[in-house]
A and B are shown apart, each in its own frame.
Chain A
Amino acid sequence: MPGPVTVFAAKKIITMDASVGEATHVAVRDGIILEVGDLDDCAAWGPCTLDERFADSILIPGLIESHAHLLDGLLWAKAHYVGPIDRPDPSGRLQKGLTDNDALIARLKEIEATMSDPTKPLVGWGVDPSLNDPIAPITRHELDQVSKTRPIFLLHASCHVGSVNSATLEMANYAAIRVPGVLRDASGAPTGELREMAAMLIAVKAVAADMIGGSTDAAQFYNFARVAQARGATTIVDGGGSTYFDPAFLASALAATEAEDFPARIVAHNNGITVPGVDDMIKFAKGLDGKGNDKLAFQGIKIILDGSNQGFTGRLRPPAYLGSGENGLWNRAPDELRTLVPALHKAGLQIVAHCNADQAAELFIEAVALAQAAHPRFDHRHFIVHGQMLDESLLRRMASLGIHATLFSNHLYYWGEFHRAHTFGAFRAAALNPAATALRLGVMVSAHSDTPVSPVDPLFTLWCAANRVTATGRVLGPQERVSAYDALRMMTFNAAYLLHRDHEIGSIRVGKRADFTILARDPLTVDPMTIRDIPVQATVVGGRVFPVG
């Protein structure tokens, strides 16, 4: 028997639907949209409950975070956020950024004072000396001011560096470790800065072992969804490293997401990252097909081609990195990719390819061309993740092969100045994440945060794509700015399209799921520079209201 009808009233409903653009009321039953129009239109479905709590607000399709990592949820569960960027935590409280070492030490002291067991390690995450003012390393000298006896481990935002205190160095026996990434002072003593996993590993094992190795902690799923929901997301992608093919992990994920009050939908990519063989990749992906629930689905298989641009491990076309002319690292061999991509394509999977720099994208495009020549497939919707250095030529080839992209627009703000000065130089920095060109050429693009790399905040990501402003206020590549409407479409319909879910979510249309984001102001009419400041008041997922705060 059909359930009761609820009609949500809004000051304005922005549908993002191609045929009907605006409305004031939307009728919902059993999680599905029945009607979109005015109150009378909705009343055609019979008796209803009129919900007017959003009557003075703007109702838009639920925002979609098209690339993020579950690790964000695990970090919130296992460690204290102590980074320089403001982030709301899973309880909805804003954790203010700590932008210098004094503030960091003061906060760590506060945390330390609340810990009763004196041997329990203090683990933190999100620190980033490059965003601090002044830029200063975080060494054992700073951390020893917090405690000389309790082990401290801080994972940097890049996830490639750790800072530890003397207690951790001693406990993990760093005197016996000979790794170049263990930075040392003039006397040969470790400074407490550990660069790359080889250097960090023994400290992680000693004090933060539960951060590695496929934790099944249920809190990670809730935290991951909740932090995104607090910034207006109704669907969030878990971008590929998780081990859902492991029955224990899957059981934990299903149990967590089945809860009525689970606050967002998760679309998880299958794991083509840590599963080594192509046969297993396909087997695991097919095995998970349809295994999800209303709030957990599996879509696409994620593979990684290169590293990170700001970490100097992206694969660039000539002239490669600014100044040095050096290049980054492949994650998989190009020759392997020329067989892997066609194999996944032939198996009917959607390929989600991490290509940070342009040579990685070029190779992926080449591999898809091989795949299409051998086994033509329509509407596969393979897409590139990050695609930061795509240009018109690559985008035209993508359009002709049916490849789309989610761009890392947040980079323009957080690392735009860094890219201009240290990685790419002026021209290539101005051309980063070319959303306007992509849309003009018919490539469906979305944009993402890659949390925990940058905070999940779809309105902020939208703002980045529309304004292309760096942290110091410079506009990078004004030609590639997109309109607020296009930016909103990137974060809704286009993202849904990439996830093969545009028939279900991504716009407000009769028959689709009732996933909405409620905003205090209209993102299409305010000054685009103020979009990121629009308060998110609530989200609605399948007709259920999830308040913010």
Chain B
Amino acid sequence: MAEQIPVAVIGGYLGAGKTTLLNRLLSEAQGVKLAVLVNDFGSVNIDAALIAGRDGETISLVNGCVCCSIGDNLGLALHDLAERSDGPDRILIEASGVADPARIADYAGSHPRLALDSIVVVADPETVRMRARDKYVGDLVRLQLAGADLIVLSRTDIVDAETCRAVRLWIETEVPGARLALSPDLDHGRMFTSWTLASELPLDGTALRAALATLPTEIVRAKGIVRLLEAPDRRFVLQVAGGRWSLDAEDKDVDPLTKTRSVIVCIGLTGQLDPARLDCHFAGVARTVGPADLVELLRRGASPPREPHP
């Protein structure tokens, strides 16, 4: 899992501000090798001063990032990136303006070296409500917003405050529980903050599930590999994206007495994610038990029935 390259999908209807966001992320990336997959070089319009060279379908930037054309097969372009020896640290896919970003996100799982990070949908506060009523694209615009792990309102620095407020209200009604961010607040690298829970001991599955079901909405994404007291011969993979979560046992057995750390990483928007609050939220999950209790728990904890696959 450590080997996997996180993939984010940037969606949103035509003119929402996707390429502006991508351009900014590309030009401001520092120390992170981003690879951005775009539909059309022409529309990205990368600052010429940043371009180190172009080789067919790839533009290399002086800061180590690359911008690649999707060509006629997104899957192949993505797999090509995954298989490069000097692969990127992160991949961003620009979804076409009429794509359902959730379908594009399916490709993130189509290669063992890739993993879905998040679905970000960009919306222009001045036009999004009108688009959502349009007879040709209204259903699609609403579908895109509903599938987002994070909705980014673009151009909030130049749109008047009243419009922004109204649009935020509208989105909160349209997509209950939506995670919202304003683009001027977004600073690459500092766009997201993470909080980590690590424990040498197996976690309490009941408490963990309860904590996952009531996650604070500022968490955009979380993942982890954990061991649970209820089934100490298994490792569990934890995934949270938007409001959805899953906790699935891995296939292979592990020796119950082997030490495997449980680690959960939560990612949220900088300025919104409150570490102290998360400490409280997960307080009952990592139980403090003495060695004798632990041996007893492990002895009792025969494998439970496997969770059915979703």
> Which listed residue, B15, B71, B106, B139, touches A274 by the CB 8 Å rule?
B71
CB pair B112 A198 closer than 8 Å: no
> What are 14 A-to-B residue pairs whose CB atoms are below 8 Å?
A175-B251, A180-B106, A197-B75, A201-B110, A205-B79, A274-B72, A276-B69, A279-B42, A315-B136, A329-B98, A329-B99, A329-B100, A335-B14, A335-B97
What 1/0 flags go to A169-194 for Cβ under 8 Å of B? 00001011111110010111000000
How many angstroms from the CA of A359 to the CA of B134 in the assembled complex? Answer: 12
Q: A178-B109, A179-B110, A274-B71 are in contact. Are A201 and B79 (CB under 8 A)?
A: yes
Distance in angstroms from B205 CB to nearest chain A CB is 19
Q: In this assembly, does A327 line the interface, its C-beta being within 8 Å of a C-beta of chain B?
A: yes
Cβ contacts A311-341/B at 8 Å (1 or 0 each): 0000100000000001101111111100000
Give the Cβ gap from A91 to chain B, nearest Cβ, in Å. 31
> Does the CB pair B109–A336 fall under 8 Å?
no
Chain B interface SS verdict (over half): loop
A198 touches which of B72, B100, B106, B137 (Cβ 8 Å): B106
* Closest chain B CB from A20 CB (angstroms): 47
In the complex, the chain A residue whose C-beta lies closest to that of B308 is: A186
Given A188-B309, A199-B110: A277 in contact with B72 (beta carbons within 8 A): no
Is residue B73 within 8 Å, beta carbon to beta carbon, of the partner chain?
Answer: yes
Partner of A277, one of B42, B98, B136: B42
* Per-residue contact bits, chain B 95-121, to A (CB 8 Å; 1 contact, 0 not): 011111001001101111001100000
Interface of A: prevailing SS: loop
20 further interface pairs, Cβ-Cβ under 8 Å (given A184-B309, A197-B75, A329-B99)? A173-B112, A175-B251, A177-B109, A177-B111, A179-B107, A187-B306, A187-B309, A188-B251, A196-B103, A198-B103, A199-B110, A201-B75, A201-B110, A202-B111, A205-B79, A277-B42, A331-B98, A333-B13, A335-B97, A359-B135
Q: Which residues of A contact B (CB under 8 A)?
A: 173, 175-181, 184, 186-188, 196-199, 201-202, 205, 212-213, 273-274, 276-277, 279, 315, 326-327, 329-336, 359, 363
* A residues less than 8 Å from B20 (CB atoms): none
Closest Cβ of chain B: how far from A74's Cβ, in Å? 15
Please tell me if the beta carbons of B137 and A334 are within 8 angstroms of each other in the complex: yes
Q: Is the pair B106, A179 in contact by a Cβ cutoff of 8 Å?
A: yes
**Which residues in A have their C-beta under 8 angstroms from that of B306?**
187-188
Q: How far is the CB of B288 from chain A (nearest CB, A)?
A: 34
Q: How large is the interface on B (under 10, 10 to 19, 20 to 34, 35 or more residues)?
A: 35 or more
Residues in chain A near residue B107, CB distance under 8 A? 179, 198, 201
5 closest cross-chain pairs (CB), A and B: A274-B72, A178-B109, A176-B112, A188-B309, A198-B106
CB of B39 within 8 Å of the partner chain = yes
| Chain B residues whose CB sits within 8 angstroms of the CB of A274 once the complex forms | 71-72
Residues of A within 8 A of B99 (CB): 329
Tell me if B198 counts as interface (CB < 8 A to partner A): no
Bound Cα distance A184, B306 (Å): 15
Nearest CB in chain A to that of B131: its residue? A335
Question: Are B72 and A336 neighbours in the complex by a CB distance under 8 Å?
Answer: no
User: Does B76 sit at the interface, judged by CB under 8 A?
Assistant: yes
Please tell me which one of the listed residues A179, A212, A273 contacts residue B109 in the complex, with CB atoms under 8 A apart: A179
Give chain B interface residues in 34-89, CB to chain A under 8 Å: 39-40, 42, 69, 71-73, 75-76, 79
* Highest count of chain B CB atoms <10 Å: which of A173, A198, A326: A198
Choose one: A202, A205, A333; the contact of B97 (CB below 8 Å).
A333
Q: How far is the CB of A280 from chain B (nearest CB, A)?
A: 9
Give Cα A130 to B75, complex, Å: 27
Contact (Cβ within 8 A) B98 A333: yes
Query: What are the residues of chain A within 8 A of B98 when measuring CB–CB?
Result: 329-333
How many whole Å from B4's CB to the nearest CB in chain A? 10
